[in-house]
């Protein structure tokens, strides 16, 4: 990437293109584009060796058309103001697309987390939370962070604990952050939510025979050959669920390199091997690829970039051989690369749709925290008893006895995990159908443009109904 490249400007360019398919006033579009608030901070932490270090960090709140704003916190040495503004903007449009009532936000701490001990990471996380709190950049009704690249459940638990200690009178303090461990007011299904959303999204996309025929593929997940970039949370879970559905994972790219096997890789075994050995390069039965970026150019049906932004650029886009590029990461395909891929009849599934599973289930966690009750708790036992009565009546009327396994499956009431999973799948299915219909209506092949048209229309309607732009 060139030194003057701007991720945020890339996002705004996409908004400008999509806006031409709408009839909203120029001033309204300008308001929708702007990043409303950006907080850049510096704070000191004490390292384990007794030395002090100054940490650079950010929190961006792109849009307050809905409150609170929502968006992850990433720990990366690449974090900068342009990045968090761009990612917060993508969150705004993502939430609008899938009808999650949040504005978009994003945070980042400019560190390579692997350079710090777990105790140092805790001190950084708690101090970052304190800095957000004193400037009113965090709170259940203000700004609700979540995990992102380099962060996970543990960091979210520290954020929640720090916030609660600063605001002990806030009965809704648990809702200040999502992606928490289950024991700390988290929700079942959140850890795998983004990856499972990728799976549900792809499952819906490849179900349309005519769309698949247009790019030279058969419909259905089964048998699809897939290459995944990134074996973190999103890459692992999306690969896992796709493999369970019959897809063949033939390549995995990571920062230390990649591995390839045209006959398929067992994602669970690869994941465990990397965790044990610290690298996937020594995984038996696979060809090691020293430069993992080369693996993105291998022939496959679906390429899933699930790592960081700007992975497919004008430089490597002409060499991509996948039929579908599925953006599980935020912004992995640049605008220049997108034009090249679409001209080559490669379908791009935009990030603001495909990786929306995380924020969708985060919304459910936020609601759970505000209500202080698990989903399904009021009705699960009632449903079980009612279903049992129905099964007993059927058995009596037909003089047939079901097996224990059959009875168990039918009688089972929906618990929290079942309800979350069902709602996530429904969200991904409905959102894609709306996105696809918009593309067909406007006669455009660029699904990102179609997704932004949907989002812009929803955000604009909110402004108009609030009387801001009468």
If you write DSSP's letter for every residue of 19-73 in order, what string do you get?
HTTS---HHHHHHHHS--EEEEEEEEEE-TTS-EEEEEEEEEE---SSSSEEEEE
Q: What is the arrangement of strands in the sheet containing 69-75, beginning at the earlier edge strand?
A: 37-46, 52-61, 103-109, 69-75, 143-147
Q: How far apart are CA 419 and CA 396, in angstroms?
A: 30
Radius of gyration of the chain (CA): 23
Q: Which two tokens stand for residue 218?
A: 């058969």
Catalytic residue among 70, 94, 106, 225: 106
In which residue are the tokens 């004490």 written? 46
- Please list, in sequence order, all residues whose beta carbon lies within 8 angstroms of the beta carbon of residue 119, skipping any fewer than 6 positions away: 48
Cis upstream peptide for 110 (omega within 30°): no
If you write DSSP's letter for every residue of 409-434 in order, what string do you get?
HHHPPP-HHHHHHHHHHHHHHHHHHH
Q: How far apart are CA 177 and CA 174, in angstroms?
A: 7
Tally Cβ neighbours within 10 Å of residue 261: 17
In the chain, % helix, strand, coil (3-state, to 5) comes to 50, 15, 35
- Please list, in sequence order, all residues whose beta carbon lies within 8 angstroms of the beta carbon of residue 413, skipping any fewer than 6 positions away: 376, 379, 380, 381, 382, 383, 384, 387
In this structure, the chain runs to a length of: 470
Q: Is 106 a catalytic residue?
A: yes
Q: Which residues are catalytic?
A: 106
């Amino acid at each position: 990437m060139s030194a003057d490249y701007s991720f945020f400007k890339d996002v705004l360019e996409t908004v400008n293109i999509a806006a031409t398919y709408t009839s909203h006033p120029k001033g309204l579009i300008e308001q929708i584009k702007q990043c409303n608030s950006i907080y850049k901070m510096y704070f000191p932490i004490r390292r384990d060796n007794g030395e002090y270090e100054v940490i650079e960090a950010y929190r961006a709140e792109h849009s307050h058309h809905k409150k609170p704003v929502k968006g992850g916190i990433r720990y990366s040495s690449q974090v900068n103001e342009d990045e968090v503004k761009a990612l917060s903007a993508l969150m705004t449009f993502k939430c609008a697309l899938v009808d999650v009532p949040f504005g978009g936000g994003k945070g980042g701490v400019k560190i390579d987390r692997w350079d710090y001990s777990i105790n140092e990471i805790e001190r950084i996380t708690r101090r970052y939370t304190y800095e957000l709190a004193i400037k009113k950049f965090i709170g259940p009704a203000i700004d609700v962070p979540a995990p992102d690249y380099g962060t996970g459940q543990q960091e979210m638990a520290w954020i929640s604990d720090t916030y609660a200690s600063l605001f002990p009178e806030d009965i809704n303090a648990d809702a200040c952050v999502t992606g928490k461990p289950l024991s700390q007011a988290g929700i079942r299904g959140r850890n795998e939510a983004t990856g499972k959303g990728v799976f549900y999204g792809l499952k819906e996309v490849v179900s349309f025979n005519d769309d698949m025929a247009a790019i030279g593929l058969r419909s259905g997940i089964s048998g699809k050959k897939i290459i995944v970039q990134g074996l973190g949370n999103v890459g692992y879970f999306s690969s896992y669920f796709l493999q369970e559905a019959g897809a063949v994972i033939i390549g995995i790219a990571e920062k230390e390199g990649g591995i390839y096997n045209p006959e398929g890789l067992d994602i669970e075994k690869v994941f465990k091997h990397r965790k044990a050995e610290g690298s996937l390069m020594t995984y038996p039965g696979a060809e090691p690829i020293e430069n993992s970026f080369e693996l993105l150019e291998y022939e496959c049906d679906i390429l899933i970039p699930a790592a960081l932004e700007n992975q497919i650029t004008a430089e490597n886009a002409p060499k991509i051989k996948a039929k579908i590029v599925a953006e599980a990461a935020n912004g992995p395909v640049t605008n220049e690369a997108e034009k090249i891929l679409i001209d080559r009849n490669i379908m791009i599934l935009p990030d603001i749709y495909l990786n929306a599973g995380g924020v969708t289930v985060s919304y459910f966690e936020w609601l759970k925290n505000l209500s202080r009750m698990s989903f399904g708790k009021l009705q699960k036992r009632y449903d079980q008893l009612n279903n049992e009565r129905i099964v007993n009546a059927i058995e009596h009327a037909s003089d047939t006895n079901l097996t224990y396994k059959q009875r168990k499956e039918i009688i089972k009431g929906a618990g929290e995990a079942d309800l979350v999973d069902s709602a996530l799948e429904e969200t991904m299915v409905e959102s894609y159908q709306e996105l696809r219909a918009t593309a067909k209506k406007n006669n455009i092949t660029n699904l990102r443009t179609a997704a932004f048209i949907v989002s812009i229309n929803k955000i604009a309607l909110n402004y108009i109904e609030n009387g801001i732009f009468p």
